Structure 1
Amino acid sequence: KVVMQVKGDTSVLSIAAASILAKVTRDRLMRQLAVDYPLWSLDTNKGYPCHWHRTALQGYGPSAIHRRSWAFMDNFVPWSGVPRIDRFDAPTLF
């Protein structure tokens, strides 16, 4: 049985550990991708929507690796007309 537990990382140690591993891995990948996508400073913002990253997105638009699931991304011309997928509607492993 699979159970979705909101904020599970605050009460289940294995979820917390998996969350940390996922974030560290993602941050490492963003630093590597920053070499190929220097305009967005992924080495410092790791792809999260901070002020500087949003400013770069407004100036350069999104790259092929940008997430489409964040609502603020809907207004970028290259993705206009492409529906955003909410994370709970996205395919899962289970």
Structure 2
Amino acid sequence: MSRYRFIAAECGHYPVRRLCQVLGVPASGFYAWQADQQRAVGRPKTPAWETALVKVFGVHKRRHGTRRLRVALWEKGHRVGRQRLRTAMRRRGLHAL
């Protein structure tokens, strides 16, 4: 068990600053870890339109750019703009021929 997890488990019984002092970790480090844990829980998975993007891109044999991909995704019910498509394609390394 990490120090920060121990502090999170015991913070109901003892003050956080005291626990951090005893364990030799900065309180700001604990609060940063706690915020990161909350962000990780609330972080969404890959959106459905991105998985549909990869499928449509593969079906059309890498011949469609953002304009045609946007139309194909709109026909499938995914409302997404060209710039967002462009960003997702760059992130995934997809390039039209």
Fold match by TM threshold 0.5: no
Q: TM-score range by the shorter chain?
A: under 0.3
Going by fraction, where is helix more abundant, 1 or 2? Answer: 2
Q: TM-score, normalised by structure 2?
A: 0.24
